[in-house]
Structure 1
């Protein structure tokens, strides 16, 4: 589990427990108690677990308290505190659908195989207004075969992420993948949540025929790269795939050029430069990529200065737009961006991690060989996408001198990439 973002609050365990136990009429108690419930994930002790259980047992109906209860249930799940199972089980009958969802998720983290508990989880599917996708995932994760009959109606659900989850669940529980093509079709849905959701479902099914379509899906490369890696690792382990079959799609996603995507949005007319720049801040990366394509094809001369301007105004602190700005400088081969790209390459903040790989790719595109020593230093990182992107960038710059050093990397895809060109 990635815990880099967990410990964001400067609280001791006892301070967090005291906040969580604070009475509801205390000033700012709601926000403080939520913070405490989140922070206690850092303390897998009996004291913390008991405090979280007390928070779940507090059934005050105020919105603040309901939100705290949801977070407390989630944290107990993250801590895999199985002693909390009885109280979590009671939450399956809660009136708050989000508390129910978190309770189901927590039970999935506990990993119980008690059939009566699994049956109670399955019965939640029969209640209206629930968050069915999580329930379907957990029943599948826990291999509850008796849920199959309840899942079939959800394959035609009007909400695409739910339908996708149900189809994938039937595939996993029964071994029948005949309907998985419908999940692949969701990769081109207009809803970004549908696209992201079906990628996770394809991962869960190890559905390697979808790798080419995943690579072209207009969502953040984080989702696509994770899918291709996980499906690829599984396929290689099973003997169904080779590195050579996966490599083109891995590198296509890491390069992340808009021409390698299938768009689900379109413009009625060519947008202005200002509009296209502002689209880089969209949370739906499908819209971001469409804007990038427009900037590259229509505003090539004006875009570099506009990128510098938006970086100074907002993008320096917006990790999504920051990523797109770095990548665009590379596609524009804009040499004056060298110093900014070098700064991004070295940025240690975890929220800007994908910008480091983007900067590596961009430095390779710009072609300035001054970047080679700093790129080589990036090979010492444990960040997978930065390491692989660095290999691509060094190859673009004609330097293969470090490949043999990491040809025995612990990651099989990195090792295969490095070994492929180690002798050049």
Structure 2
């Protein structure tokens, strides 16, 4: 989501961003500033900034900079609820640029979630008209149909079942099940949770969230993909589970398991091993892009003697603490491994407020509960007012651990999801 760039692009003044967007790219020292400006204005609120985005989201020309700027402007309009934002995004669905269609479809989903009213018939026709081109475009269109719960495109979506592009096939299956189709349609999607290809596992987790069948919550929680990705689906499924009458304590226990994120509880695929049994070898495996390798490394590290773990953690902290994924794993390994002497790292992790460290804050909060750091109760209590649902849950879970009420409080904590 574009919000993660807000702090990175905060240096660009709003008025300067508006000027840059209205400028001829040829007159700028760096034409790439235009799509940075578009992203920056997504976080603005003035009428002038909205007008600049609306202009930038119109057709600008076939050049790479023009296309990128338009895509970023369409993406930014998803953060600016206004009837004109809706109209511009619907207009962009007919674009020949697949990237613009993807941005428009994603923004329409966000605008609807923000309460923006739309004409269901007009929107369905526009989305069905965009159901062509590369798989990325068609997947985004089907996801928009699913999120907006538009049921007038069933025949078009059914045509994507068993498509050679499994990403498109999965989106279609999720859409049809969400609209009342047979649950058996999701069997191929569920099998992809154990796919050796990381991308297939990630998209399967997303598809299960869109399908909205709460019985798949446990399978999602235990899939070796990133915790934040699983959390987006898991919290959505948890709310549906509660609405459908599932036992609150059972639902809450699965969310606790998600936040503990113990690699030994995940359904790992195979047994990835480091190239050498040294701190550097384990860290190299831990920092792989494939989460199955990351979690296999974390599980292997936790199986080692405490002294060996400490050496690896020190190496990770000293040389890789600026790696977002590595920092998250550092926080989890400190908590899961019981490394009380490294509690200072947890305090530093919890203090990180940049969007890139959001998952590290969750991991640090949970670890404080695991290590019984009672001196951090006030800091954890303060997180109960956070705008981030997952961080609020992690803090409440940590406080329950500190108070010896982790199990007894499950049903009560589940009420926060309703």
When normalised by structure 2's length, the TM-score is 0.85
Q: Aligned residue for 2:261?
A: 256
Q: How does 1:381-420 map to 2 (within 5 A)?
A: 381=383, 382-383=385-386, 384-393=389-398, 396=401, 399=404, 412-413=415-416
Please say which of residues 127-136 and 97-106 is displaced more in the overlay. Answer: 127-136
Q: Aligned residue for 1:419?
A: none
Relative distance call for 1:200 and 1:151 in structure 2 (3 A) is: same
SS at match of 2:26: coil
Relative distance call for 1:146 and 1:68 in structure 2 (3 A) is: same
In 2, the alpha carbon distance for the partners of 1:133 and 1:335 equals 46
How far off is 1:326 after superposition? 1.7
How far off is 1:388 after superposition? 4.1
In 1, the alpha carbon distance for the partners of 2:21 and 2:82 equals 17
Alignment partner for residue 378 of structure 1, among 377, 380, 397? Answer: 380
Q: Which runs of 5+ in 1 are unaligned?
A: 416-424
Residues 208-247 of structure 1 show CA distances to partners (whole Å, capped at 9, x for unaligned) of 1111211210112222233332212222133x21212213
Q: Aligned residue for 2:104?
A: 103
How far off is 1:35 after superposition? 1.4
Residues 127-164 of structure 1 show CA distances to partners (whole Å, capped at 9, x for unaligned) of 45652111101122333333111112322123333221
Residues 77-127 of structure 1 show CA distances to partners (whole Å, capped at 9, x for unaligned) of 321332255544443332321012222333444553252442232122234
Q: Aligned residue for 2:330?
A: 325
Relative distance call for 1:304 and 1:130 in structure 2 (3 A) is: closer
Alignment partner for residue 352 of structure 2, among 338, 347, 352? Answer: 347
User: Are 2:268 and 1:266 aligned?
Assistant: no
Relative distance call for 1:337 and 1:207 in structure 2 (3 A) is: same
How far off is 1:340 after superposition? 2.0
In 1, the alpha carbon distance for the partners of 2:238 and 2:135 equals 36
Q: Aligned residue for 1:234?
A: 240
How far off is 1:324 after superposition? 0.6
Please say which of residues 201-210 and 392-401 is displaced more in the overlay. Answer: 392-401
In 2, the alpha carbon distance for the partners of 1:152 and 1:29 equals 45
Q: Which runs of 5+ in 2 are unaligned?
A: 113-117
In 1, the alpha carbon distance for the partners of 2:85 and 2:233 equals 33
In 1, the alpha carbon distance for the partners of 2:417 and 2:319 equals 37
Q: Aligned residue for 1:195?
A: 201
How far off is 1:337 after superposition? 1.4
In 1, the alpha carbon distance for the partners of 2:275 and 2:304 equals 9
Residues 40-87 of structure 1 show CA distances to partners (whole Å, capped at 9, x for unaligned) of 113344322322232233532221111001111122232133225554
Relative distance call for 1:53 and 1:179 in structure 2 (3 A) is: same
Please say which of residues 42-51 and 253-262 is displaced more in the overlay. Answer: 42-51
On the 8 A contact 2:282/2:297 being kept in 1, the answer is yes
Query: Which structure carries more relative contact order (alpha carbon 8 Å, separation 6+)?
Result: 2
Q: Aligned residue for 1:243?
A: 248
Please say which of residues 82-91 and 113-122 is displaced more in the overlay. Answer: 82-91
In 2, the alpha carbon distance for the partners of 1:361 and 1:84 equals 40
When normalised by structure 1's length, the TM-score is 0.84
Query: Which protein has the larger Cα radius of gyration, Structure 1 or Structure 2?
Result: 1
Alignment partner for residue 223 of structure 1, among 215, 218, 229? Answer: 229
In 1, the alpha carbon distance for the partners of 2:157 and 2:401 equals 49
Query: Structure 1 stretches (4+) deviating beyond 6 angstroms?
Result: 406-409
SS at match of 2:25: coil
Residues 339-362 of structure 1 show CA distances to partners (whole Å, capped at 9, x for unaligned) of 222332343444323323323433
How far off is 1:169 after superposition? 0.5
In 2, the alpha carbon distance for the partners of 1:391 and 1:115 equals 43
In 2, the alpha carbon distance for the partners of 1:254 and 1:331 equals 11
How far off is 1:19 after superposition? 0.7
Q: How does 1:287-306 map to 2 (within 5 A)?
A: 287-298=293-304, 301-306=307-312
How much is the aligned-residue C-alpha RMSD, in angstroms?
Answer: 3.1
Relative distance call for 1:339 and 1:30 in structure 2 (3 A) is: same
